[in-house]
Chain A
Amino acid sequence: MTAAVETTMAAGVPRRAGFVDLGAVLLTILTIIVACIWFFPVFWALSTSLKTDQEAIADGINILPSNPTFNNYLYVIQHSDLPIWYLNSTITSVGITFLVVFMSACAGYAISQLRFPGRMALWWTILASFMIPGTALIVNHFIIIAGVKLLNTHLGVILPLLVAPVTVIVYKQFFDGIPRDFREAAVMDGANEFQLLFRVYLPMNWGITTALAIITFIGAWNNFLWPFLAIQNEKMMTVTVGITQVQDTFGVAYARVIAGAVMAGLPVAIAYLLFQRRVTQAITLSAGIKG
């Protein structure tokens, strides 16, 4: 047997039994530690929500409730407008998701595929909008929305949250990557621009739209600051704003407040668990842009 053949065979020999890859073990331990640190607040919230008020504020660290109870959840459901807040959150989040995705797809398509005067200026404006944090615009938003008498309305919550440069950029990049032949083939077949977008470009990868929709929905559902400012009427509040009313009503009833918070976050957690792969894809798509 030649040396070359021996070398080739040695390369294919399985790792020696009992051999431990120390680097992999350390990495696994580190990952588990980080996961535990990340999960602890969630666990603590769940645990506290199942405690009595006395136990929740008792001295010392009680990791697990001594007598687990769902009374806090029942209390929040029975003594607050939680169902209405859920409905309001659903209306505004679905509205924001639909409009953001629709408008971003249209804008991304226009900037990527159409040639019109001011196209590049528009593109640079969208890129430049990253420089301005959303909170810096909140006073302007409030004045405008108040001026058009949309405070305490669903539309008033929705409109300022439609500014989503990341989704536009993700769509533009996606459309840029589609070979020109598809467009030309569809043009030869008689497709207009709307048909090109909705029958050729978007369906080619619904995954991107799904991912962007999920991440937009999660962002809209979790949004607190703008709905908090725009809504004073308790019946129009979203769930994230509504749970602050739980605190007001019951004083510092931590267990109940946290039960409300858990319920507020539940739809998002379910959405994440159901669409985990798509959420990860959306974060990956937008990560490069956010830098």
Chain B
Amino acid sequence: MANVELKNVSKSYGSVQVIDNLSLKVEDGAFTALLGPSGCGKSTLLRMIAGLEEISKGQCFINGTEVTQTPPSLRGTAMVFQSYALYPHLTVRQNIAFSLSLAHAPRKVQDEQVGRVSKMLQLDQLLDRRPAQLSGGQRQRVAIGRALVRDPKVFLFDEPLSNLDAALRSQMRVELAKLHQDVKTTMIYVTHDQIEAMTLADKIVVLDKGIISQQGTPLELYNRPANKFVASFIGSPAMNFIKADVASKNGDGYTLALPGGRTATISSRGGTASGNSVEIGVRPEHLALGAPGVAGSSFDGTVSIVEQLGNTTLLYVDTAGGTLIVEGEGNLRVAVGDKVGLTIDSAQSHLFGADGKVI
């Protein structure tokens, strides 16, 4: 086990800056997810930790030792690739033992290690098969086994589940979580899937255009997003954003003039709106559904789409503030075209300034 620290690292390809003066600490034994949209630099960051990408500026430390110039194989890290990268000409056994074989480990040691890992990952029955004869999930387990056999200080996962179907992805998530509990090794996991990040990680680092947008526990990010980018990226369905004008400041919060003429009072987190215009961020489950025209409600609107998901119902409601997504109970009886009233849960809402930062 080891901690990982990046100090002011930058990565550029010619004039294109991919990572910009980024600093990050990953605690010993933690499961940290690097989350962000395509092109945000999360895979590049992982590859910089692995040593597969040169660090243009800054330093990388693993367990307190600087490894910025250390070759990948000597960093004590192991990586699971998105494509699995299993050698097609080798059997499962040979794939798992490949690093040991390169290091000229005695045959007995190789067999012992392969036995240990294959048992842990339930691959014992598949050892003589080639990757082409395996299912996606089995290949994924072999890729993990190949990393596991090296007994690394840090596991690096580069979108390892993105090639699997939804059911298998869910199953593999559980297996990865169990694996982390068993081996307790530091794991850094790159994903663009916020559900994977939320369910697996102790800490999520949200990246946007090469910089850390916010880092924290999954619930911190969900409940207290630092900016509009994080607020919109975390949560499914996505947070609703409603433009509003500041009417007055009341103690900790603001009274806002909503589109459509009504008002709402939203608490701030201590920030000050720089201008007259702000955005309210409210998650679909924090919009209460009611009858139209009721005093105290925030909007009246018309239901345009109803999505019955069984355990929950998603309504798309056209209002003066735009189309808002509302999450209701599974057995909600609402039809397209129904007139409804929506009330913002002020305590659970967020205010974002013109620069996108939370107020």
Name A residues whose Cβ lies closer than 8 Å to a Cβ of B: 179, 181-182, 184-191, 195, 199-200, 203-204, 206
CB-CB under 8 A from B71, the residues of chain A are 187
* One of A182, A189, A204 near B102 (C-beta < 8 A): A189
A181, A187, A189, A203: residue with the most chain B Cβ atoms closer than 10 Å: A189
Contact for A185 among B77, B79, B89, B103, CB less than 8 A:
B79
> Does A182 contact B87, Cβ atoms closer than 8 Å?
yes
The reply to whether B85 and A189 contact each other, CB–CB distance below 8 Å, is no
Residues of A contacting B85 in the complex (Cβ-Cβ under 8 angstroms): 179, 181-182, 184-185
Enumerate chain A residues within 8 angstroms of B83, measured Cβ to Cβ.
179, 181
The answer to whether B73 touches A204, judged by C-beta atoms less than 8 angstroms apart, is no
CA A187 – CA B89 in complex, angstroms? 17
Residues of A within 8 A of B50 (CB): 184, 188
The answer to the question of B116 belonging to the interface, with a C-beta cut-off of 8 Å to chain A, is no
Inter-chain CA distance A191–B150, complex, in Å, is 13
Determine whether B34 belongs to the interface, using a CB cutoff of 8 Å to chain A. no
B52 at the interface (CB under 8 A from A): yes
**B277 at interface by CB-CB < 8 Å:** no
User: Please, how many residues of chain B have a CB less than 8 angstroms from a CB on the other chain?
Assistant: 22
Q: Residues on B close to A: CB < 8 A?
A: 50, 52, 71-73, 77-79, 81-83, 85, 87-90, 98-99, 102-103, 146, 150
The 8 Å CB contact of A189, one of B82, B89, B98, is B98
Report how far A182 CA is from B146 CA in the complex, Å: 13
* Secondary structure of the B contact surface, majority rule: loop
B73 in contact with A188 (CB, 8 Å): yes
- Closest chain B residue, CB of each to CB of A199: B102
Q: How far is the CA of A190 from the CA of B79 in the complex (A)?
A: 12
B99 touches A189 (CB 8 A): yes
Q: Assuming the A-B contacts A188-B50, A190-B102, A195-B102, are A200 and B77 also in contact, with contact meaning beta carbons closer than 8 angstroms in the complex?
A: no
Q: Which residue of B lies closest to A187 (CB)?
A: B72
Q: Are A188 and B102 closer than 8 Å at their CB atoms?
A: no
B87–A187 CB distance below 8 A:
no
A188 & B89 in contact (Cβ 8 Å cutoff): no
Give chain A nearest CB distance to B7 CB in angstroms. 23
**Smallest Cβ distance from B127 to chain A, in angstroms?**
18
Q: Using A187-B71, A204-B89 as known contacts, list a sample of 5 further A-B pairs with CB atoms less than 8 Å apart, ordered by residue number in A.
A: A187-B52, A189-B146, A189-B150, A203-B87, A206-B89
In the complex where A187-B72, A188-B79, A189-B150 touch, is A204 in contact with B103 (Cβ < 8 A)?
A: no
**Chain A positions within 8 Å of B99 at CB level:** 188-190
Query: Is B87 a contact partner of A200 (Cβ separation < 8 A)?
Result: yes
Contact B81 A187 (CB under 8 A): no
With a cutoff of 8 Å between Cβ atoms, the chain A residues found around residue B78 in the complex are 188
How close is A266's CB to chain B, nearest CB, in angstroms?
A: 34
Residue among B78, B88, B102, B146 having the largest count of chain A Cβ atoms under 10 Å = B102
Q: Which residues on the B side are within 8 Å of A200 (C-beta)? A: 87
8 nearest A-B residue pairs (beta carbon): A190-B73, A189-B99, A181-B85, A185-B85, A203-B89, A181-B81, A181-B83, A190-B102
Complex: how many Å from CA A187 to CA B99? 9
B287 to chain A, nearest CB (A): 44
Are the C-beta atoms of B87 and A184 separated by less than 8 Å?
no
- How far apart sit A206 and B89, CA to CA, in the bound complex (Å)? 9
List 28 A-B pairs, Cβ < 8 Å: A181-B81, A182-B85, A182-B87, A184-B50, A184-B79, A184-B81, A184-B85, A185-B85, A185-B146, A186-B87, A187-B72, A188-B50, A188-B77, A188-B78, A188-B79, A188-B99, A189-B73, A189-B98, A189-B146, A189-B150, A190-B73, A191-B73, A191-B102, A200-B87, A203-B87, A203-B89, A204-B87, A204-B88
